[in-house]
Structure 1
Amino acid sequence: MTHDSTHLTSSEIASLWTAYMNDSMSRLVLNFMLKYMEDPEIKSVVQTAYDISVTHLEELEHIFDKESFAIPNGFSDRDVNMDAPWLFSDIFCLTYVNQMAKVGMLGYSGFLAMCAREDIRKYFTQGLSLTAELYNQSADTALAKGIFSRHPYIEVPKETDYVNDKSYFNGLNPFSEKRPLNTVEISHLYMNILTNSMGIKLCLAFAQTSPAKEIQEYMLRGKEISQKHIKIFSQTLLDNDIQTPRLPDISVSESTTQTFSDKLLMFHMSLIASAGIGNYAAAGSASQRTDLVVNYERLSFETAKYAKKGADIMINNGWLEQPPGTKDRNKLARKKES
């Protein structure tokens, strides 16, 4: 049986739908960024990211049309005000693309792993490859400009070793000494500092440009949560005599003109929150000191509560587009009987 006559599975439908929603949002954000770009090297990176989103949307719509798959509403040109003044610095835009490329690589690898049909696997394989190339392009540009946030340096190991005592996992007992952080734990702590730093800037930009008080308060709450999490992660590094490297100046302007629709802002924050929860889950499972694991669990719960509040706001305003799902068979039966 060829892929043309093979029905899409639930995971393939979910992956295609999610990819479309994400790209429809990214296209608008990147297009607005391009309008005010001054640095030609950074503009080239953002242009590549924009072109990828546009191409993906065209390819997805072709798949949807072939499968009689209802195209999601997603986001349109009505969700961005292209006449709004400058909002993001060039360095912010480069850092944003670099961070979102990381999210994209994780997303595409997950989509690929859940798909069976050859043409769908081919689409997500290509998407993963292009997103990896985008990440490398953004990283190379940031390195060339001296604004790439390198993870902390430690001495290269000269010999191998084994854990020979259960105290290696200690961290919560106040009467026992915590061992120094290992490289896996340092990596996750620093990565989560970077992602939360980006979250702070996005929250500020979204809060100051939204006309709705409810959205402003929600974004400012997100900023406070990110600041709290950065403080915890940074202190953990400092307690191990590891300085947090200087972050690039990813500034936003003081514009208060509405730039993006509140629907787009809330969707974007839900994407960021979901990525954060995923990062914390990965960090918690990889960390071997119990205090770190507990921290990631409680901070993940706080982020989940924040995401739930955002979903409630979206539902109340009719902004939360529902993913494809199965029919309620009991409801169908009752409707037939009536």
Structure 2
Amino acid sequence: MELNKIHLTSSEIAALWTSYMNDSMAKAILSHMMAHIEDTEIKSIIQFSYDIAKNHVEFLIQLLTEEEYAIPIGFNEGDVNINSPQLFSETFCLTYVNHMAKVGLLGYSGMISMSARDDIREYFTNGLIETTSLYEKSLNVMLDKGIYIRAPYIETPSETDYINSKSYLSGLNPFTDKRPLNSIEISHLFTNIQTNSIGIKLCLAFAQTTSIKEIQDFMFRGKEISDKHVSIFRQTLLDDNITTPGSPDVCVTSSTTRVYSDKLMMFHMSLLSAAGTGNYATAASASQRSDLALNYERLSLEIGKYAKSGADIMIKYNWLEQPPGTKNRKKLAQKKED
């Protein structure tokens, strides 16, 4: 059977639709960042990231057109005010791209595993390779500039051992001492501090540039949630005498001029909420201390409620684009009867 006779599966359609939405959003975000960055090293990273997103959008439009599938609405030049003042510091732009590259690495690996057609797998494999390169390039610049925050160090292990007591898994009893954190648990706590720190800055930037009070309140609520989660994770580390350095200069400017459309900002927050929920689920399954797993589950519920309120706002303003799906057969039958 010829390749062009093989129809796209539901998983492949879902992956392509998601890729288009994310890359079209990235194009808008990065285009404004590029317009204000003067540091040549950082600008080259932003340009590289922008080119990846631009090429992906062009490829997806061509592919979906050939497959006779509707092109998603996504985002375009109308969703960004390219002439507005600088919103983020150059350091934040670099940190943001590095963070989103991490999200992309997870996303593309999953999309590859959901795809069967050769050309679709090739596209997502190339996307994974490009995103790996973006992560490496951005990380190297961050290291050179001394703004990359390393995970906490621990003592070098001198021996190996097995867990010999069920108490290793405990942690909920307030009257007993909790065992020290292991390296896996530390890594997830640190990662979730970093991701929430990015979210805090984005919430602040979006809150001060929107003209809709309801969205401003939503962004401030997101900041408060992220602040709370960072405090919980930091305290968990501090209880074991593990300190995490503060973020470098990842500031938001004082500009209140509209930069991105409210639709784009709300979509971006839904993307971050989904990524955060995934991070917490992974952390909960990897953490062997019961109090940590319970914390992640409890905080995931809070993110879920926040994401739901965001979806309600997007539906209210007709901003929530519907993913491709199957037809409602019952409605079709009823319509025929009518």
- TM-score (normalizing by structure 2): 0.99
Aligned to 1:221: 221
Q: How does 1:234-273 map to 2 (within 5 A)?
A: 234-273=234-273
What secondary structure does 2:140 align onto? Answer: helix
Aligned to 2:39: 39
Aligned to 1:50: 50
Identity of matched residues, %: 63
CA–CA distance in structure 2, aligned partners of residues 254 and 292 of structure 1: 37
The answer on 1:328 being equivalent to 2:328 is yes
The answer on 1:74 being equivalent to 2:74 is yes
Aligned to 1:167: 167
Amino acid at match of 2:158: K
Amino acid at match of 1:17: W
CA–CA distance in structure 2, aligned partners of residues 132 and 3 of structure 1: 28
Structure 1, gaps ≥5 residues long = none
**Cα offset, 1:175, TM superposition:** 2.1
CA–CA distance in structure 2, aligned partners of residues 246 and 306 of structure 1: 26
CA–CA distance in structure 1, aligned partners of residues 4 and 268 of structure 2: 34
Amino acid at match of 1:326: T
**Cα offset, 1:65, TM superposition:** 1.1
The answer to whether the 8 Å contact 1:280/1:296 transfers is yes
Give the root-mean-square deviation of aligned CA atoms: 0.7
**Cα offset, 1:176, TM superposition:** 1.8
Amino acid at match of 2:234: S
Amino acid at match of 2:94: L
Aligned to 2:127: 127
CA–CA distance in structure 2, aligned partners of residues 122 and 259 of structure 1: 35
How many positions carry a matched residue from both structures? 338
Aligned to 1:61: 61
Aligned to 2:89: 89
Deviation readout 1:20-40 (Å, 9 max, x if unpaired) = 000000001000000000111
CA–CA distance in structure 2, aligned partners of residues 216 and 247 of structure 1: 24
Deviation readout 1:198-233 (Å, 9 max, x if unpaired) = 000000000000010001000000000000000000
CA–CA distance in structure 1, aligned partners of residues 184 and 247 of structure 2: 20
**Cα offset, 1:246, TM superposition:** 2.9
What secondary structure does 1:314 align onto? Answer: helix
Amino acid at match of 2:294: V
The answer on 1:280 being equivalent to 2:298 is no
Aligned to 1:146: 146
Deviation readout 1:161-188 (Å, 9 max, x if unpaired) = 1100000011101122100000000000
The answer to whether the 8 Å contact 1:30/1:50 transfers is yes
Aligned to 2:114: 114
Aligned to 1:187: 187
What secondary structure does 2:7 align onto? Answer: coil
Amino acid at match of 1:253: T
Amino acid at match of 2:134: L
The answer to whether the 8 Å contact 1:24/1:57 transfers is yes
CA–CA distance in structure 1, aligned partners of residues 195 and 177 of structure 2: 30
Amino acid at match of 1:54: K
What secondary structure does 1:135 align onto? Answer: helix
CA–CA distance in structure 2, aligned partners of residues 277 and 324 of structure 1: 23
**Cα offset, 1:2, TM superposition:** 3.2
Structure 2, gaps ≥5 residues long = none
CA–CA distance in structure 1, aligned partners of residues 229 and 259 of structure 2: 28
The answer to whether the 8 Å contact 1:170/1:176 transfers is no
CA–CA distance in structure 2, aligned partners of residues 85 and 7 of structure 1: 46
**Cα offset, 1:3, TM superposition:** 2.4
- TM-score (normalizing by structure 1): 0.99
